[in-house]
């Protein structure tokens, strides 16, 4: 009898956890890819604020399901949760507890994705003077930067330089493992 109760409780807990599948919304219109790669085949374009179910994470990509379509989107294109503010009552506590039990995480995660360059892109890189001209439009003078900082209530701080790293016992690498 005790075993049956334990089995029923475990089954109920498992069903409750499945009901709390991680969801999210797209923060902008984003491509749903067949594979987790920028050059992967685009299956569809999900409009901004599309609700998705997160199935899996892989690097800077998330496998999602929306309206019967399944594919991959960039992590930075999603806002996890249902978009509503989290409560602080017993339901929020129970939901948080179940999320920890289900995923091992509280759900509060800060992550970023970085797009790397392939060997081919690096080998075929060409200077782009037009883009440099655009970039130079963002420069400001020291006076403009100080004025902007003062308007935001920021104050200058002096930060000391780090001392030179000491060599490892073999005198071949620094404490960070790079050659000296």
Domain ranges of the chain: 22-103
**pLDDT by residue (tens digit) across 99-110?**
555 555 555 554
Q: Which of 20-29, 78-87, 134-143 has the highest mean pLDDT?
A: 134-143
**pLDDT by residue (tens digit) across 145-180?**
999 999 999 988 888 888 877 766 666 655 555 554
Residue with tokens 């999602």: 64
- Strand 51-58 with 23-26, pairing: antiparallel
pLDDT of residue 98: 57
String of DSSP letters for 104-146: SS-S-----------HHHHHT----HHHHHHHHTT---HHHHH
CA nearest to 82, candidates 23, 30, 26, 28: 23
User: Quick one: CATH architecture of 22-103?
Assistant: Roll (2.30)
Q: How many Å apart are CA 24 and CA 78, to the nearest integer? A: 6
22-26, 43-47, 84-88, 129-133: least confidently modelled range: 84-88
**pLDDT by residue (tens digit) across 45-90?**
999 999 999 998 888 899 999 989 999 999 889 988 765 544 444 4
> Do 53 and 33 meet the contact criterion of CB atoms below 8 Å apart?
no
pTM, two decimals, is 0.40
């Amino acid at each position: 009898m005790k075993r049956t109760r334990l089995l029923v409780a475990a089954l109920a807990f498992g069903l409750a956890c499945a009901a709390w599948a991680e969801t999210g919304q797209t923060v902008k219109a984003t491509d749903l890819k067949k594979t987790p790669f920028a050059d992967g085949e685009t299956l569809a374009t999900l409009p901004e604020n599309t609700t998705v179910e997160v199935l899996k994470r892989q690097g800077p990509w998330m496998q999602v399901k929306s309206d019967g379509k399944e594919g991959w989107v960039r992590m930075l294109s999603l806002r996890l949760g249902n978009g509503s503010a989290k409560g602080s009552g017993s339901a929020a506590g129970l939901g948080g507890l179940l999320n920890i039990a289900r995923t091992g995480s509280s759900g509060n995660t800060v992550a970023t994705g970085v797009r790397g360059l392939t060997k081919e892109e690096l080998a075929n890189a060409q200077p782009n003077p037009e883009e440099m001209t655009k970039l130079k439009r963002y420069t400001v003078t020291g006076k403009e930067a100080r004025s902007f900082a003062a308007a935001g209530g920021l104050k200058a701080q002096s930060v000391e330089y780090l001392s030179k790293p000491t060599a490892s016992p073999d005198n071949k690498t620094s404490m960070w493992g790079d050659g000296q």
